[in-house]
Amino acid sequence: MNSNATQSSIQNVDNQTLQSLNEPVNQQPIKRLTLVTDAWFPQINGVVTTLSNLVLELTHQGIEVDIIQPSEYKSFPLPTYHEIRCVWRPKDLENRILNFKPDAIHIATEGSLGWFARRIAIKNKLPFTSGYHTRYPEYIRARLPIPMVAIYSLLRFFHAPAQKTLVPGQSILQDLEAKGFKNLALMTRGVNIDVFNPQQKQDMNYKKPIMLYVGRIAPEKNIEAFLKIDIPGSKIIIGEGPDLEHLKATYPHCHFLGAKKGNELAQFYASADVFVFPSKTDTFGVVNIEAIACGTPVAAYPVTGPKDIITEGLNGSTHNNLQTAIQQALILPKENIHLSIPQFNWPHAAQQYLQNLSPIDWNSNSKNKSNPN
């Protein structure tokens, strides 16, 4: 792609961003928010990255956020996913929500805490919104012989009472609509360019080209599709998960470095020649925009998530043959890659989030409770 075409593509993205930022916002001010999530620290995943950065942005805007998360209650580890905790007795959860009197309730995940909060909201006639972050039907199917149609049916039931269900991109929105989900709305994602930027690049003692994967080491991530490719260079794998030991033993020529975060992670992004995203089951993939913000092109399949992020020939390549996508991404000029995603920023994501929340009228709610007829 020549420099004029590159600048034109970046300008088109800028114009789209400005248009979306000028969309009308919710007129009802949100000052207090109850956020319910089964995914929180010390977990390391895209859901925690999204929610923690969202909370930082909302707090910066003066919004008080009550984060209801697993470490505050009795719980047990989820089988095959030990980092995720299942809360089984959230003592005083109902009183906590009612006493806080939030202006809005957002149930971010469909885990046990999400189900408890959903029941409380319905019981007390409190409107709420929900989030769709994870393709659980595909994740579960990768581990157990449970039909995906059954899990999708359960998820439709979970989200049905929500005023809106927030999703990260247009491709997952269309996919869920085709599966019968209702009241879907977009809330994009962001990246912290103070940390993730091309200036983080370091000289690394690996044979080039350096091909990088960052994410959970688990079956649903389809990592072996990348590791088994016969291509010159170095394959660096950053992350942890249940498949780590198996893959280390099977692919001893690859470099498994464990989990990284912050500046150390950004240095790997910026120093890689290509970021490889082999997953076919993600709803978005925050790691993709972190890599692009560091000036590194992305190679991926043309599936939900990458389709919403990658501008072909500008900041990456998608192809049904992952090796072809890698080879095409490696020849892209890197000078302007970090400029290609201005729409992915946390203030914009927070604005979309706030305008889609469902405000609670506590005066009206009290009247409804005292006059059920």
Q: What is the pLDDT of residues 241-291, one digit of tens each?
A: 999 999 999 999 999 999 999 999 999 999 999 999 999 999 999 999 999
Residue 367 pLDDT class (50, 70, 90 cuts): low
Higher-pLDDT residue of 25 and 258 is: 258
Tokens encoding 326? 């890698």
Q: What is the per-residue pLDDT across 290-309, written as a single tens digit (0 to 9) for each?
A: 999 999 999 999 999 999 99
Q: How many other C-beta atoms can be found within 10 angstroms of the C-beta atom of residue 15? A: 10
Distance, in Å, from the CA atom of 23 to the CA atom of 36, rounded to the nearest integer, reads 27
Please, which residues have CB within 8 angstroms of residue 359's CB and are 6 or more apart in sequence?
26, 28, 30, 103, 104, 127
Q: Note the pTM of the prediction, 2 decimals.
A: 0.89
- pLDDT confidence band for 145 (50 / 70 / 90): confident
Fold of the domain built from segment(s) 198-342: Rossmann fold (3.40.50)
pLDDT confidence of residue 187: 98
Q: Could you write out the DSSP letters of every residue in 275-334?
A: EEE--SSBS--HHHHHHHHTT--EEE-SSTTHHHH--BTTTEEE-SSHHHHHHHHHTS--
Which of 79-93, 124-138, 331-345 comes out lowest in average pLDDT? Answer: 79-93
69 contacts 113 by C-beta, under 8 angstroms:
yes
pLDDT of 155 over the 60 cut:
yes
Alpha-carbon distance 6 to 3, whole Å?
Answer: 5
Superfamily of domain 31-190+348-370, CATH level 4: Glycogen Phosphorylase B; (3.40.50.2000)
CB 73 within 8 A of CB 90: yes
**Matching fold, domains 31-190+348-370 and 198-342:** yes
Helix (H) or strand (E) holding 366: helix 362-370
Domain range list for the chain: 31-190+348-370, 198-342
pLDDT > 90 in the chain, percent: 83
pLDDT at 47 exceeding the cut of 90 = yes
Percent of the chain with pLDDT over 70: 90
What pLDDT shows up at residue 52?
Answer: 98
Query: Residue 98: is it exposed, middle or buried by C-beta count within 10 angstroms (0-12/13-18/19+)?
Result: middle
CB distance 337 to 289 below 8 Å: no
